Amino acid sequence: MTGDARRGAAAWGLGALLVGALVVVLATAAVTAWLVAAAVGPGLFHEHMTSAGMADHDAAVVHAEQAFQDAGTVSLALALGAAALVSAVVGVVLNRRIGRSLATVSTAAARVGAGAYDSRVPEPGLGTEFDDLARSFNAMAARLHESDRLRARLLADVAHEVRTPVATIAGYLEAIEDGVQPLDEDTLAVLREQSARLTRLADDLAAVTRAESGDLTLHREPVAPADLLHAAAGAVRERAAVADVEVGLDVTDGLPPVAVDRTRLAQVFDNLLDNALRHTPPGGRVVLAATHEPDGQVALRVADTGEGIAPEHLPHVLERFYRVDTARDRGHGGSGIGLAISRALVQAHGGTLTAASDGPGAGATFTVTLPPA
Ligand SMILES: Nc1ncnc2c1ncn2[C@@H]1O[C@H](COP(=O)(O)OP(=O)(O)OP(=O)(O)O)[C@@H](O)[C@H]1O
Ligand SMILES: [Mg+2]
C-alpha cells in the first residue's frame, strides 16, 4: 500500500466513525424530541386552553391547537436540519484535522521503521493527548537515533581494536610458515600476548555492554564511605609499592552511609586506582578522599599527582576506547574501556563519575558522587 492510499484508508476509517457517531446522536435527539413533543406538548396546550375557560370543541381552540402542532413540527424540523448541518461541518473539520495528524505520525513511524531515525513530528495542537503522542514519538525516535549512532561507533571501535592483534598474529604465523621466523620462546610470547589482548578486549566489551544496558543485578547494602576507600586502598597496596607511589586516605567525619554493591564499587575504585598508579611517576602520591557535597551527595575522590590530562582530552576520557596517548596507553595493555565501565557502574547506582585535571603535569582527580543511603 502506498503512503497516500494508507492515508486515505486511515482518513476514511476515522471519518466513517465520526459520521456514525454523529448520526446516532442526531437520531436519538430527533426521536426523543419528536416523542416528547407528540406525547406531552398537545396535552399541555389543550389543558392550558381549557383552564383559560375555552370550550373543548370551540373552533378557535381546534384552530389554535392545529397551529401549535404545525409550529412545533416546523421548529423541530428546522432545529434538526441545523443540527445535522453543524454536525456535518464539525465532523468534516475534525476528521480532516485528526486524520492529518494521525497520518503524519503514521508516516513518520513508517520512516523510523525503515531506519530514518531523524524523522520527527510537529505537535498538532489538538489537545494534550495528541501533543503527548507527538512528544513520545519524538523521544522514541531520538533514543533510537542515539543508540544507532552508538552501535555504529562501537562496531567501528571494535573493528579497529581487533585489527592490530589479529594482523600481528597473522603476520607471525605467515613468517613461521615461510621459515623466516623461528617458533621460539620470543615468538610464542608475542602470540600469547596478542591473544591475551583479544581475550581482555572481549571481557571488557562484555562488561561495558552489561553495565551500560542496565542489565546489572546490584546487591546493595548501606556501607560507610570510609570502609569503601579503606578496602580500595588495601587492594592496591602492593601495586603501589611496586610503582613507588604513596596511597593516602582523607575521610571527613560523620559522612552518611551509601547504598552500594560493594563488589561493583570495588571494581570502580580498582579501575581508578589502576589508572592513577599507571599515570603517576615514582615518588608521587595518590589520595583517596570522601566528603559531603552541598547537595547532600557523598563524593569519593581519587586524586593523583601524576601526568595530568590536557583540557582537550578531558571531556573524552570517560568514553569507550578513548586513550590520550594511544600508542603508549595501549602498550600498557589497556583497551581504553576501564573508565567507561566505571562510569556505567556508578550510574547504575544513581551516581556520577567525573574527571578533572589542571592540565599536563598537574595530576588528575576522578570523583564518584553517590546519593546517601
Ligand atoms: N589518572 C590519570 N591520569 C592521567 N590520565 C589518565 C588517568 N586516568 C585515565 N587517564 C587517561 O584516560 C584514558 C582512558 O582511561 P581508561 O581507564 O578508560 O582506559 P585505559 O586505562 O587506557 O585502559 P583499560 O582501563 O581499559 O585497561 C587512559 O588511556 C589515559 O590516557
Ligand atoms: Mg584504565
Cα–ligand 2 centroid distance for 275 (angstroms)? 5
Tens digit of each residue's pLDDT (9 = 90 or more) over 299-321: 999 999 999 999 999 999 998 88
Q: Whose CA is nearest to atom 13 of ligand 1?
A: 323
Q: How much of the chain, in percent, has pLDDT values that exceed 90?
A: 50
For the four alpha carbons of 213, 217, 221 and 223, in that order, the dihedral sign comes to negative
Cα–ligand 2 centroid distance for 190 (angstroms)? 22
Cα–ligand 2 centroid distance for 147 (angstroms)? 24
Amino acid present at 268: V
Cα–ligand 2 centroid distance for 323 (angstroms)? 9
Contact assessment for residue 25 and residue 84, using Cβ atoms and an 8 Å cutoff: no
Which of 200, 267, 286, 317, when mutated, tests ligand 1's pocket best, judged by the most ligand atoms within 8 Å of its CB? 317
Looking at per-residue confidence, does 355 or 160 come out higher?
A: 355
Residue 200: per-residue pLDDT? 83
Residue 1: per-residue pLDDT? 45
Residue 326: per-residue pLDDT? 67
Tens digit of each residue's pLDDT (9 = 90 or more) over 40-66: 878 888 888 888 877 777 788 888 888
Tens digit of each residue's pLDDT (9 = 90 or more) over 265-298: 999 999 999 999 999 999 999 999 999 999 989 9
Q: Which residues line ligand 1 (CB under 6 A)?
A: 204, 271, 275-276, 279, 304, 306-307, 309, 317, 322-325, 329, 334-340, 364
CA proximity to 260, closest of 210, 215, 212, 221: 221
Distances (CA, A) of 2 to 9, 16, 101, 103, 264: 11, 21, 18, 12, 52
Q: What is the mean pLDDT of residues 167-194?
A: 93
Q: Residue 111: beta bridge partners?
A: none
